[in-house]
A and B are shown apart, each in its own frame.
Chain A
Amino acid sequence: MARFTRRNFLKLSGGGAVAAKTGGMAAILASGRAPAFAQSSAVHWLRWVDFVPASDEVMRKEIVPECQKALGMTLKFETINANDIQARTTAAIQSGSGPDVICGVNNWPQLYAESVVDVSDLAEEIGKAQEGFYTVSRAVASDGKKWIGVPWCIVGAQIAYRKSWFEEIGLNKFPETWEEYRDAGKKLKAKGRPIGQTLGHTFGDAPTYAYPYLWSWGGKEVEADGKTVVLDSKATVDSVKFMTGFWKDAHDEGGFAWDDTNNNRAFLSGTISSTLNGASIYIEAKRKPDAYQTEKGTPLWQDILHAPLPKGIAGQYSYHLPMSNMLMGYSKNQQAAKEFLRWITSKDVFQIWFNSQQGYTIGATTVWEKDPVWGKDPVMLPYRSAARNARFAGFAGPPDRKAAEVLSKYIIIDMYAKAAQGMPAEEAVKWAHEEVKKIHT
């Protein structure tokens, strides 16, 4: 799309003012809305605290002033812990006031579909201009008829592991199957270097690990109709049974209480050998080579490699964390907020932010796979096209509101956690099945 310059903006808004003048009060009243830009020139945008701190810096120091220059809008950029965004969204919707734009993770937009503005025109426009959205971005941000969010990016999830530690147990490449991974993890845990993974209530690492694991065994929440709950199957029970032993043999058992930050800290401090994560561990280690070192005193980042989750008997799957910007229905600033979204998601502006992410996020559109960032560091390459084959919560059904509810209640994750804590596998699966069923009926 055309770059939205200050000049263009002035022309447009000036035109609007003229139109309002010529139409008089009657025209304004007929439109049911005050002239958009006249209402307020501030847009409030809520996002998570980025796992790449440099990106929040870029937002505050470059994009916020740039927004003022290009659009004449004051961008109020607010960041909070990702696990608090859902609560904040609910509170904002119920009270009818809050951020104009909220950047949601996973399929959260589905939960708030009735309270957001239809942004189909904008999303289609951006998709067309940037060579199309990934299926996962489209699926979580649209309800089949309209777009309920503008896809923003996808946080790629890959396993970060310690090359030298895996070599020490005789592995020159990352295990390809869950059995191999378990064997490796067992040897590593015996040396005090377990696999570290969360099975706690947290938005990112927990579902991106538990869901693909379930799928790779052939388990799924519902059939493709999105209604028939089929979680309680032999495949699921097998996956839970395997997890029980796998957890005990190979994992750091503190993982039950971890959120998305714990594995980063544990990996960086050298207490775990491997963890599914965005690339934030690697990026942080590379940023501070003196602070994060191996036991041999070499920079830690040189000992980190990335690999996809292992294969199961039903295949190899992945779940990457999509993010979408929801334009909130209560916003009194919708027109301005939409212009802001058009601007920030446009290629030139997004590029500034994308560069700062250093590959931690993949764009929501495929055009970003061609970005030079991927040529800079081969260790980051596994993230580049990871989102192409991603599945999403709710499989084999759509990632709709019900799937979002299952995810927000952490039912699949709790199923594994309960079993790993000693509940018989069949019982844990039955519990989860009933919980999922309650949501789908």
Chain B
Amino acid sequence: MAISYAVRERAYAGVPRRGPVTRLLEDERWLGALLLLPTAFLLALFIAYPFVKGVLLSVTDARVGVPGTFVGLQNFIALAHDSIFREATFLYTAVTTVFKLALGLWLALLLNRHFPGKALTRAFVLLPFIIPTVLSTFAWKWMFDPTFSVINWTLYKLAIIDSRINWLGDPQLAMISIIIVNVWRGVPFYAISLLAGLQTISPELQEAAAIDGARPWQRFWHVTWPLLLPVTMVVVLFSVIQTFADFQLVYVLTGGGPANATHLFATYAYQIGVGTGLLSEGAAVSLAMFPALLVVVIVQLLYIRRVEIH
């Protein structure tokens, strides 16, 4: 570094009257820092500040309109005894991720083939992902409506059921319902991302394997899958973070009900913090997501670094 600095100094030796600011900016370290400033400012404003504010709130007894006093970890201790929010988020994330991956991969493999209308089909597949979640979830809400469910109506007319299925009113079915909608919404993201990954795999590898006598399943398992794995990992980890912190879908469909059976971290934090106005408790609930997400992020970063090195 010192040498390059010296060289540059000499190259500019003939230029007269350089002010201290110009000199400072010619130093890459300062210029770099300066160019990073806007990003750093945005990150601080929109990510660091809310996060720090959340942490500060969670260790007080603040309520709406009342700043509150420091209470240490009391809110977190109370949460540890809270029966409402424990399993649902993990179950929701785990189940939806498995389904989204399996269906998304399947869809990606299908879309990777040549068939007429390929471009149009690919565009249509993205629809659930493109429509604003709140809108599409409202449509689902009507389909699952306790009284007017079109799904129930169809099944009833087809003589498959003889009484209504209580989609959103039964705790287990409500969980299944939100899982169905999340999978429906998430599959296109998986499919398109994995399709992009599939297209980077050279067809020659497949052809070589085929010539060697590999069956389709063997070709997938020994050629496609290992090559697709880096993309898959990134997609899965990204999706896990998204799903874990999901809010709008559950908020619209069940509001966390029936009797709190489908509350995720985010919806529960919203009900406590924003609905009831117990800001500190709400902040504590949303921060409870943090350790789990941190693990996911660390795994993701480590993995990406490993891929980069290789």
Contact = CB atoms under 8 A, between A and B. Distances in A.
Interface of A: 83, 86-87, 89-91, 93-94, 111-112, 114-115, 199-201, 252-259, 262, 265-266, 269, 271, 329, 405, 408-409, 414, 417-418, 421, 431, 438
Contacts of A200: 255, 257-258
A252 B273 CA distance: 32
Given A115-B64, A405-B276, 11 more contacts: A87-B274, A90-B273, A91-B274, A94-B65, A114-B65, A254-B147, A254-B166, A255-B146, A256-B166, A257-B254, A258-B169
B interface, how many residues as a size bin? 35 or more
Contact of B146 (A89, A257, A408): A257
Looking at chain B's contact residues, is the secondary structure mostly helix, strand, loop, or mixed? loop
Given A111-B277, A266-B147, A421-B259, A254 B169 contact: yes
B258 A431 contact: no
30 contacts: A83-B255, A86-B275, A86-B277, A89-B64, A90-B64, A90-B274, A90-B279, A111-B64, A114-B66, A115-B65, A200-B255, A201-B255, A201-B271, A254-B168, A254-B169, A256-B259, A257-B146, A257-B168, A257-B257, A258-B146, A262-B145, A262-B147, A269-B148, A271-B147, A329-B65, A409-B271, A409-B272, A417-B257, A421-B171, A421-B259
Interface-central residue, A266, A329, A417, A431, by most chain B CB under 10 Å: A417
Contact of A408 (B65, B259, B275): B275
B188 interface: no
A409 B276 contact: yes
B101 interface: no
B274 A418 contact: no
Contact of B78 (A269, A417, A438): A438
Contacts of B64: 89-90, 93-94, 111-112, 115
B260 interface: yes
Nearest to B253: A257
Interface string B34-67: 0000000000000000000000000000011110
Interface of B: 63-66, 78, 83, 145-148, 164, 166-171, 174, 254-260, 270-279
Contact of B169 (A201, A253, A265, A405): A253
Interface-central residue, A94, A254, A269, A271, by most chain B CB under 10 Å: A254
Contacts, number: 105
A269 B254 CA distance: 23
B64 to A, nearest CB: 5
A257 B166 CA distance: 9
Contacts of B259: 199, 256, 414, 417-418, 421
A101 B278 CA distance: 22
Nearest to A83: B255
A87 B146 contact: no
B65 A112 contact: yes
B46 to A, nearest CB: 16
A421 B83 contact: no
A115 B63 CA distance: 11
Nearest to B254: A257
A87 B275 contact: yes
B278 A405 contact: yes
B65 A93 contact: yes
B270 A87 contact: yes
Contacts of A265: 147-148
Contacts of A90: 64, 273-275, 277, 279
